[in-house]
Structure 1
């Protein structure tokens, strides 16, 4: 994906392919930005690309980027690994909760489980003290798997305090999302 930034009259402009629109009504895929939100006197400062990677019936390669040229093949391979990891996590969570091995995967869609991918881009900011990368939030998903880098920024909120998440090289970060928390009372152990 190629993001190009230009500054005109103090406004940041992102140049994208004309056939790659931002979110359209009724769609959850496309490019977007969170440069406009104001939270406690700070603005969020990131661009993103969001798209469905499974199940196949929901794929729309028309919103996928044309460049870099190897994006589609690399993304399909990467997402295949992430889907296997997610299914294994569901199995371990199910067993740990005293459920049948496939209970959680089945409860959240089985073979039609929807996998979404979000790629964030945090452009350099001329006044970082006035910005946030992402506003405080919970994840609406069942599971979120983050591939972090060495740039510190992720925090967790616990017991009324924010704590930095330490970067561990070659590690993934897994969040249990809102959907699992909301469904816990409906999942019955063996």
Structure 2
């Protein structure tokens, strides 16, 4: 197990799971030892993926993308600088947080659900407007700002590319998402080895309140998706991203696409690090079913709503909600 500079024991350096991290029997993870599912679509973006993305968004709400154009060096640098951040002494991580209101470092005991803590640490911060956000990010490690800024630029390009394919698949006008999408939040997870992963969770079951979320898993599994009432294990394909459909895209598609429940489980022997980027509408953007998808046979299934009002009403996003509401200045336009 990792230790703080090899000197001090950290909260996860224990032989047994502390009581405060043990979930009730009905909420504990299942199928930890089940094989990784081979049914989740793997979509090669160098080919013609529009039909494949449409089908995956309908049937799963999740898919991998490969040959996506993000340089491997960019993803490796990003996951490595996150490793450096979480390896810093806890006093250094927490001390920096106190100097900024716009990003949040969460230790394992800073967030709880029904009195139980998650087996993880987390760092999240806003990414838009990028040039204004960069100086507010962690200054340690020293290369953090440069590396994560380069990562966000690549994710923005990839997200627009994927959304444009979704646009074509749905029959929407080209550029439909140009004024409705931005890489708004970056959230990184640190999931250290757990003495008994059957008792704990890394992230609670939830849906994402985004358009889409792009997840880089750093080569280690741990993500589970609810499919047909059963939790299935999502593997970690090297240099691939997991893309999942968020609530806002479900609304825009008028229910053709589904935002599905997912969660993170822990490992007994491995440390998992992941980077999730939430591609959201701006807070004042009005989200509603696309007009071209509405007719007498297919009436609107969702009411129009400002994005900030939607996330304000839906508190099931756990510790993401406050960060989303504080993610962008109030005068941002859709």
Q: TM-score range by the shorter chain?
A: 0.7 to 0.9
Counterparts in 2 of 1:128 and 1:42: CA distance versus 1, 3 Å: farther
Structure 2 residue matching 1:69: 3-state secondary structure:
coil
Q: CA RMSD in A?
A: 3.2
Report matched runs for 1:29-68 at 5 Å: 29-33=103-107, 35=109, 36-38=111-113, 43-56=117-130, 59=133, 61-62=135-136, 64-68=137-141
Q: Is the 8 A contact 1:21 1:31 kept in 2?
A: no
Q: Is the 8 A contact 1:83 1:115 kept in 2?
A: no
Counterparts in 2 of 1:187 and 1:155: CA distance versus 1, 3 Å: same
Q: Compare relative contact order (CA 8 Å, sep 6+) and give the higher one, 1 or 2.
A: 2
Offset, 1:129 = 3.1
Counterparts in 2 of 1:137 and 1:179: CA distance versus 1, 3 Å: same
- Indicate yes or no: 2:290 matched with 1:187: yes
How many pairs align?
178
Structure 1 residue matching 2:250: 3-state secondary structure:
helix
Larger-gyration structure (1/2)? 2
Counterparts in 2 of 1:89 and 1:73: CA distance versus 1, 3 Å: same
Q: Distance in 2 between matches of 1:170 and 1:150?
A: 8
Structure 2 unaligned blocks of 5 or more: 12-17, 21-88, 255-288, 294-334
Give CA-to-partner distance per residue, 1:74-110, whole Å, 9 cap, x none. Answer: 111111000000111111111110011211232x25x
Larger relative strand fraction: 1
Counterparts in 2 of 1:158 and 1:86: CA distance versus 1, 3 Å: same
Structure 1 unaligned blocks of 5 or more: none
Offset, 1:115 = 2.0
Aligned residue number for residue 156 of structure 1: 225
Counterparts in 2 of 1:117 and 1:158: CA distance versus 1, 3 Å: same
